[in-house]
Amino acid sequence: MPFKALIFDFDGVIVDTEQSIFDAYSDIFADHGAELALRTWETIIGSTGHRDLVFNNLELQIGRAVDREALRLQAQRLHHDISNSLPAVTGVREQIAQARGAGLALGVSSSSTREWVAGHLTRLDLIHHFGAMCTREDVTRTKPDPALYALAVQRLGVSPQDAVALEDSPNGIASAKAAGLFCVVIPNPLTKGMSLEQADLYVESMAALSLDDLAEHLGG
């Protein structure tokens, strides 16, 4: 293999939690007689700090302030209720098995919390496959900043040029590319219509990603 490590984003790549959090905030907007546009939401997918951006938009639409913390907790409850029963994305288990069989190091690079990522990976019995798990607690700035990917390759003991990132959003792509990694974008239903052309390779689904094809692409 012309690379030594595979580093996964979490939300939307390993588990499709992106739709449920968008739906949770969309419901809150609807309760207030407003609409959460996907173009507003897409600016924060893969990153953090979305509360202020989203609530600024809500307050602008309705013309008054809201109890942001109460609404954030409401969205979190809705999101968690749905996400806690979600399976791994189709093809993830097979991709991990392929990578382990090829002797690749595996990592996770996520702007979510360690509790969130580790909890789902444990629930799905996948956590033991990953030699590095980098989350928002580990860095000062999350995606699109390169810090999470820079830390992941450091912890895996490989150079950025020897690692491949699996991402699903513009913020994630920007983070991986700025850290010097080759980036494969595998969009989820929420991100497939977004601007993803900065990725090095576009693959329709995790199930369609072949490590042999990826190696050939990198070798070429």
Active-site positions? 9, 11
Please state, in angstroms and rounded to a whole number, the distance separating the CA atoms of residues 138 and 148. Answer: 8
Please state, in angstroms and rounded to a whole number, the distance separating the CA atoms of residues 178 and 150. Answer: 9
C-alpha angle 8-147-207 in degrees, rounded to nearest 5:
10
C-alpha angle 117-119-125 in degrees, rounded to nearest 5:
100
The dihedrals phi and psi of 124, each to the nearest 5 degrees, come to -90, 5
Please state, in angstroms and rounded to a whole number, the distance separating the CA atoms of residues 162 and 147. Answer: 17
Peptide bond into 187 cis (omega under 30): no
Its sign, for the CA torsion 74, 75, 81, 84, is: negative
Tokens 């072949």 found at = 210
Q: Outline where 32-91 has alpha helix (H).
A: 38-41, 50-62, 68-83
Tokens 């576009």 found at = 202
Cβ contacts of 198 within 8 Å, gap of 6 or more: 170, 173, 174, 177, 183
